[in-house]
With several copies, the nearest count.
Chain A
Amino acid sequence: MNEDTPETPAPVSEAALRLAEAFVFASSEPVSLRALGQVLPEDCDAELVVAALAARYAGRGVELVEVAGGVRFQTAPDLAPLLRRVIEVPRRLPRVAMETLAIIAYHQPVTRPEIEEIRGASLSQATMDALLEASLIAPRGHKEAPGRPTLWGTTAAFLAQFGLKDLADLPRRADLLVEVPAPGGA
């Protein structure tokens, strides 16, 4: 987010900056540039305002980040250990759920039998329920195959939870297969 905002603050009026700050701050969900543009004065470039705002918050306890097709404020990651002591944190997703989520993210739209085929193990209802309950996955129609099994895909909440701008933010599969370069490995 802050890479492309060097030192020079963008020529953005303080009024626009305050308004954008208030608007994004008020929401716990990512705010799209379109929505932001509707609040800002006509002659105001939402992108510039966001860049200026991000620059202002850089290094602070709360930062402006770009996720899930919008921007939101969130606490700086380095504060997590201290904040976890005072803020109630939901349980982490179990390993099976994370693996299933990764398969859905990379193979979407995908059916449950296809997920099971990739994992080589059957998928418990509890895992599907956990992913659905967290709104990380959603049905994406049916596959035109016998039994018309439900197709699954990831949601905007998935992007928001893992701090991804969009699905293209996921590493390419080819890059995944290259394990940590083995020292001395060919």
Chain B
Amino acid sequence: MAEAPAEPPLIETLVLRLEGFEGPLDLLLELARGQKLDLARISILALVEQYLAVIEGARRVRLELAADWLVMAAWLAWLKSRLLLPAGTEEAEAGEEAAETLAARLAELQAMRAASAWLAARPQLGQEVFARAAPEDFSEIDRSRLRLDVPALLRAYLAALRRSGGQRRYRPKPMTLWSVQDALRRLGAMLGGLPDWRTLETFLPENLAEPLQRRAALSATLLAGLEMARGGAIDLRQETPFGPILLRPAVAGEEDA
């Protein structure tokens, strides 16, 4: 069936215009079409021989050939050696498989060529058919509305503050909460004049308007009281759980109250 292998004239012309092909696959497809059979029934072996003949011819004309032509030639030479092996061996099967892959690739390229030709044959906009070249636009742009959002507002605010930051650096407000140090000082100063049991609240500073300040002062004073009791300067007492905490200056000789 493949009794018409490489017609010499075809090969001759192919050698001369090798550069005109879009790579080895393109040449292979051209050769396959030369077999005048549908792609599913081409003889891969004949195809391989034709390709190798073309490459050989081209090398005789000029020595240098693009690497991909030679890589394909080497691969096809390998494929040829496999296809010539008796069927049934493992090598021959590998050859069959590779031949199928090559046939599938050629078929795919062929299909895409056909798709390209199909597209090219369609009346193309701007080539065969023309749309209205002077369209009319009825849309009106209304830019009266503002686009405002909070993140942009905040960014702007921070940018403004940063810019003036050189002159007016932001400082956090000093904390005005009563500290343990403050409470120790106040307890120490007050205890001398108050010999009897007094509740913890007695020792809080005046003018504590906010609940937070009040609670902070209370805990600071408790801590200060514990500290002074540990040092033996005062006595502490609590009658019931969560009951009022009482304190007084330590009384000499009365170790256990």
**What is the interface of chain A, defined by CB distance below 8 A to chain B?**
22, 25-29, 72-77, 80, 83-93, 95-96, 98-103, 105-106, 117-122, 134, 160-164, 170-171, 173, 176-177, 179-186
Whether the pair A161, B164 counts as a contact (CB closer than 8 A) is no
Tell which of A100, A134, A176, A180 has the most Cβ of chain B within 10 Å: A176
Contact of A101 with B156 at beta-carbon distance under 8 Å, contacts A92-B146, A120-B24 already known: yes
Whether the pair A87, B160 counts as a contact (CB closer than 8 A) is no
Select which of A76, A96, A106, A161 is within 8 A of B115 by beta carbon.
Answer: A106
Whether the pair A120, B118 counts as a contact (CB closer than 8 A) is no
9-residue interface stretch from B129-137, B186-194, B246-254 = B129-137
Whether the pair B110, A87 counts as a contact (CB closer than 8 A) is no
Whether the pair B109, A119 counts as a contact (CB closer than 8 A) is yes
Select which of B139, B146, B168 is within 8 A of A85 by beta carbon.
Answer: B139
Whether the pair B162, A180 counts as a contact (CB closer than 8 A) is yes
Whether the pair B138, A83 counts as a contact (CB closer than 8 A) is yes
Give the residues from 167 to 203 in chain B that come closer than 8 angstroms, CB to CB, to chain A: 167-171
Select which of B140, B145, B149, B153 is within 8 A of A102 by beta carbon.
Answer: B153
Whether the pair B112, A160 counts as a contact (CB closer than 8 A) is no
Whether the pair A90, B143 counts as a contact (CB closer than 8 A) is yes
Q: A161-B148, A177-B39 are in contact. List 15 more A-B contacts (CB 8 A).
A: A27-B135, A74-B131, A75-B136, A87-B139, A87-B142, A88-B145, A90-B146, A92-B152, A95-B116, A99-B112, A117-B164, A120-B109, A121-B26, A176-B114, A182-B165
Whether the pair A118, B112 counts as a contact (CB closer than 8 A) is yes
Whether the pair A26, B130 counts as a contact (CB closer than 8 A) is yes
User: Any chain A CB within 8 A of the CB of B147?
Assistant: yes
Select which of B23, B25, B148 is within 8 A of A162 by beta carbon.
Answer: B148
What are the residues of chain A within 8 A of B123 when measuring CB–CB?
77, 80, 163
What are the residues of chain B within 8 A of A186 when measuring CB–CB?
169, 171
Whether the pair B122, A134 counts as a contact (CB closer than 8 A) is no
Contact of A162 with B146 at beta-carbon distance under 8 Å, contacts A28-B134, A74-B129 already known: no
CB distance from B170 to the nearest CB of A (A): 5
Whether the pair B111, A80 counts as a contact (CB closer than 8 A) is no
Whether the pair A173, B111 counts as a contact (CB closer than 8 A) is yes
15 contacts between A and B (CB under 8 A): A29-B134, A89-B127, A95-B116, A98-B116, A99-B157, A102-B112, A105-B153, A119-B22, A119-B112, A162-B149, A170-B115, A177-B110, A180-B161, A183-B169, A186-B169
Whether the pair B136, A74 counts as a contact (CB closer than 8 A) is yes
User: Any chain A CB within 8 A of the CB of B128?
Assistant: yes
Contact of A101 with B119 at beta-carbon distance under 8 Å, contacts A28-B132, A80-B138 already known: yes
What are the residues of chain A within 8 A of B26 when measuring CB–CB?
119-121
User: In the complex, A162→B123 CA distance in Å?
Assistant: 7
User: In the complex, A77→B166 CA distance in Å?
Assistant: 62
Contact of A89 with B141 at beta-carbon distance under 8 Å, contacts A96-B22, A120-B109, A173-B111 already known: yes
User: In the complex, A119→B110 CA distance in Å?
Assistant: 10
Whether the pair A162, B147 counts as a contact (CB closer than 8 A) is no
Closest to A80 in B: B128
User: In the complex, A173→B113 CA distance in Å?
Assistant: 11
Whether the pair B148, A93 counts as a contact (CB closer than 8 A) is yes
User: In the complex, A163→B38 CA distance in Å?
Assistant: 30
